[in-house]
């Protein structure tokens, strides 16, 4: 009995059933906890109600199949023109509340709270179709206010010998989780387009259960799981680069492998970013 108690006292139950990417506990990882979490989160996702509105059915089918969907001309032109104006004004006027250096590049953002004075920005942050898309993607009866919403700006810097970690292919976490970006600027090769490996949201295509076990035992596993170009080739998968016109909405399941390209110094990408990260077991 006391041996069982000793074992149980070493098992962080709350962590196992949380949305933590990995559990830093070699003992339970050796028991295969990480593949078990993936398997269970997947089962839970499959059992959830679909909350699928007929008007977005085609988009959600593409998302389920490829892990990513692109919706061009998302807003009516006159609404987008006003949005573009407000976003540029806000970035100029409000400063950038949070700046982060990602290798040579600078990433900054303004949260929804910093943007109360901008009507069109607020309208888009509360957009009904974006709420519908997230409801169906996450399979949750969620409210758009439960989603993180930012106005973000990525500036490509001069090569300084460092690497932007976001340019490495990675998965964000071990369960279905979604992000969307509405582009305010055209996204070309020079301003670091989004890259996604279509189909890598499907565990069977990425050998995820087995690899997650190995990865959970790796002492250096502080970041989201990475994958090399060679490993991708071995899996028979390939990247798709998503250059896009402004006013395009990209919705991706960031369980699948993704990254951003390296751009050219001095180029800026502005977007409205939406992200959901719930507990996959609830």
Q: Which chain residues interact with Fe ion by CB under 5 A?
A: 172
User: Taking the complex as a whole, how short is the minimal distance between the CB of residue 240 and Fe ion, in angstroms?
Assistant: 15
User: Taking the complex as a whole, how short is the minimal distance between the CB of residue 172 and Fe ion, in angstroms?
Assistant: 4
* Tokens encoding 237: 């998968």
82 versus 275: smaller Cβ distance to Fe ion: 275
User: Taking the complex as a whole, how short is the minimal distance between the CB of residue 81 and Fe ion, in angstroms?
Assistant: 30
* Tokens encoding 42: 């997947």
Q: How far is CA 282 from the centre of its chain?
A: 19
CA–CA separation, 124 and 272 (whole Å): 9
126 versus 277: smaller Cβ distance to Fe ion: 277
42 versus 172: smaller Cβ distance to Fe ion: 172
User: Taking the complex as a whole, how short is the minimal distance between the CB of residue 258 and Fe ion, in angstroms?
Assistant: 6
88 versus 226: smaller Cβ distance to Fe ion: 226
User: Taking the complex as a whole, how short is the minimal distance between the CB of residue 195 and Fe ion, in angstroms?
Assistant: 11
What is the end-to-end Cα distance of the chain in Å, rounded? 31
Q: What is the chain's Cα-based Rg? A: 20
* Tokens encoding 208: 């995820």
179 versus 211: smaller Cβ distance to Fe ion: 179
CA–CA separation, 98 and 111 (whole Å): 9
In angstroms, the Cα distances linking 187 to 52, 195, 256 are 30, 12, 21
Residue 40's SS3 state is helix
* Tokens encoding 172: 């964000």
Measured at CB, which residue is nearest to Fe ion?
Answer: 172
* Tokens encoding 111: 């949260």
């Amino acid at each position: 009995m006391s041996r069982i108690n000793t074992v149980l006292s070493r098992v962080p139950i709350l962590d196992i059933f949380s949305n933590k990417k990995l559990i830093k506990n070699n003992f339970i990882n050796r028991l295969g906890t990480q593949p078990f979490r993936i398997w269970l989160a997947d089962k839970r996702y499959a059992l959830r109600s679909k909350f699928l509105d007929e008007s977005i059915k085609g988009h959600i089918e593409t998302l389920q199949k490829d892990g990513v969907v692109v919706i061009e001309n998302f807003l009516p032109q006159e609404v987008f023109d006003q949005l573009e104006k407000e976003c540029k004004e806000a970035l100029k006027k409000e400063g950038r509340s949070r700046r982060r250096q990602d290798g040579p590049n600078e990433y900054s953002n303004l949260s929804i709270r910093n943007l109360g004075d901008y009507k069109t920005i607020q309208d888009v942050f509360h957009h009904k179709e974006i709420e519908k898309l997230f409801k169906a993607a996450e399979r949750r009866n969620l409210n758009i206010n439960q989603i993180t919403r930012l106005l973000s700006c990525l500036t490509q810097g001069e090569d300084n010998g460092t690497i932007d970690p976001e340019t490495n292919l990675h998965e964000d976490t071990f369960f279905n989780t979604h992000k969307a970006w509405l582009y305010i600027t055209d996204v070309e090769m020079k301003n670091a387009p989004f890259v996604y490996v279509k189909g890598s949201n499907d565990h069977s295509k990425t050998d995820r259960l087995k690899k997650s076990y190995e990865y959970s035992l790796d002492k250096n596993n502080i970041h989201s799981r990475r994958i090399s170009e060679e490993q991708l080739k071995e899996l028979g998968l390939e990247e798709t680069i998503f250059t896009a016109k402004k006013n395009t909405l990209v919705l991706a399941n960031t369980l699948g492998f993704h990254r951003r390209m390296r751009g050219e110094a001095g180029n800026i990408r502005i977007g409205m970013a939406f992200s959901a990260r719930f507990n996959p077991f609830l």
